[in-house]
Structure 1
């Protein structure tokens, strides 16, 4: 039987959720990395952040993100990254360990299971035990982050009456668009923008809201986003201006395809809607 567009999104969303085996592997890698870091460095605590922890990961693309709170902050963020990289290389000599600011990336299982480890240094504590850290910035130097505050923001948006669950669903869709089209844009930026967008909506319909989000991002031209919790600086979409220009080009295409899918949906033309949704998600949307 032919699917409706809503049914297509239900199948698509279920296909995006990471497998239980991936979550088990993630827990195992976190344990081994924590042991490695604690044996080599002065570690205060380790926080799990990112899409796995937030419930917004995409199957096959959900890295485990760990923020390791270290003592004795060096002058250079390059030094902090070197400390973490050398500790992990010593523990995992047959695994690729590389720098990808602000993190050190450990590529387990030939890169199919990756963990990103971000060195952080506590700078302040806000209300409700929210911790603010200095972490390596995209190019050099340091930037602020408050992972607990940002997760709290996403959860608050996700629990709003009338759109309960929508912030995380929309974030997962936005990340699927990113991964399936190789868009060089920050997953964290997409997650925060998706949560912010949902605060302007009174209901959630996937085909409407992925179009609305992409068009909103396009109208803003991927402008940096102010921290809605005011604990850290602005959130930037890309690590360089060249990547931002590439992302904007792909965003223009994505927003156009999402609009054509929505127009077809509103015209009761599901075949055309499915066609453009499949283009939007790089050939990964379920067939009708």
Structure 2
């Protein structure tokens, strides 16, 4: 429970941070996965990426993500690699639910409570910020990814004077909304947009910044964004037209509720503001007292 909206956001963000136990359980499968894929395909390297690595994960929702740089020749279709990696991992973990979810192969250990995403990748080009890889795209194509460069960008925005910690916490709030409201939008897109938002700010007040962030997404109609690192192509918000329509609708609802919450706070109607934020986060927001 909290007395003010600012205090509630602070409590809420703390609740969203995954525990060390969550991460260690999922990471415990790393060596077995590495050994199987190295034996089948040969690996140059396997390294962690994604929400846990970036410090933007959500308790109970985020996966441990690994890029695996394969030594085999890249096939024409990315689906071929995803299928081959999935089948190899099924041999190693026959009782685990394993499926593809582009650009990854997902292993759901412990009935889905310990999720690991494996992203098959082919090294393409060495940049000043790290290697560029080809990974599975939305359909059958390959797309470019520079995970190390993107992490450096997020860290730089997050460490900016006046908003230190803001980029990652804003991304965490955005992902909480995505997961709790089942919004079919890319977590990577939200993280890059959140970092980009904080890169232009000189202070951070989470209720206001999250409201402004949602409004910005809505004004831009969830448009594809240029890679802020300049290393890859456009970053898509959604994987299909149907998901885009659904995400736009849920975003518009969140914007209306967030705007109302901010206006109610300004009017001194705290309990009503809390109720609106609780709707944004589907009943997970701290209670007012």
TM-score scaled by structure 2?
Answer: 0.97
Q: Please give the alpha-carbon distance, in whole angstroms, between the structure 1 residues aligned to 2:232 and 2:266.
A: 41
Residue 16 (structure 1) aligned with residue 16 (structure 2): yes
Q: Distance in 1 between matches of 2:22 and 2:145?
A: 27
Q: Report the CA distance between 1:101 and its aligned residue.
A: 1.2
Unaligned runs of 5+ in 2: none
1:33 and 1:12 mapped to 2: Cα distance? 34
* Residue 252 (structure 1) aligns with: 252
- The answer for the alignment partner of 1:132 in structure 2 is 132
Q: Which moved more, 1:116-125 or 1:30-39?
A: 30-39
* 1:82-131 residue CA offsets vs partner (Å, 9 max, x unmatched): 22111100100000111111111111111121111111101100114x10
Cα distance, 1:36 vs structure 2: 2.0
> In structure 2, what is the equivalent of residue 80 of structure 1?
81
Change (3 A) 1:168 1:2: closer
- State how far apart, in whole Å, the 2-side matches of 1:240 and 1:154 are: 26
Alpha-carbon RMSD across the aligned residues, in angstroms, is 1.1
Structure 1: any 5+ residue segments left out of the alignment?
A: none
1:27-46 matched pairs, under 5 angstroms: 27-46=27-46
Matched, 1:278 2:278: yes
CA distance in structure 1 between the partners assigned to 2:265 and 2:203 by the alignment: 17
Q: Secondary structure, in 3 states, of the residue corresponding to 1:74?
A: coil
Counterparts of 1:198 and 1:2 in 2: how far apart (Å)? 26
Q: Once the two structures are superposed, what CA deviation does each residue of 1:142-192 show, in whole Å capped at 9, x if it has no partner?
A: 000000000000001001111011000100000000001000000000000
**Aligned residue for 1:107?**
108
CA contact (8 A) 2:163 2:198 kept: yes
Displacement of 1:212: 0.5
Aligned mates of 1:265, 1:202 — CA distance in 2: 22
Relative to the length of structure 1, the TM-score reads 0.97
CA distance in 2, matches of 1:223, 1:151: 22
Work out whether 1:97 is the aligned partner of 2:98: yes
Structure 2 distance, partners of 1:180, 1:59, is 11
Secondary structure, aligned partner of 2:29: helix
Question: Which 4+ residue blocks in structure 1 deviate beyond 3 angstroms?
Answer: none
Question: What's the counterpart of residue 52 of structure 1?
Answer: 52
- Aligned residue pairs total 287
Task: Kindly provide the CA deviation profile for residues 249-288 of structure 1, in whole angstroms up to 9, marking residues without a partner as x.
Answer: 0000001111111111222221111000100101100111
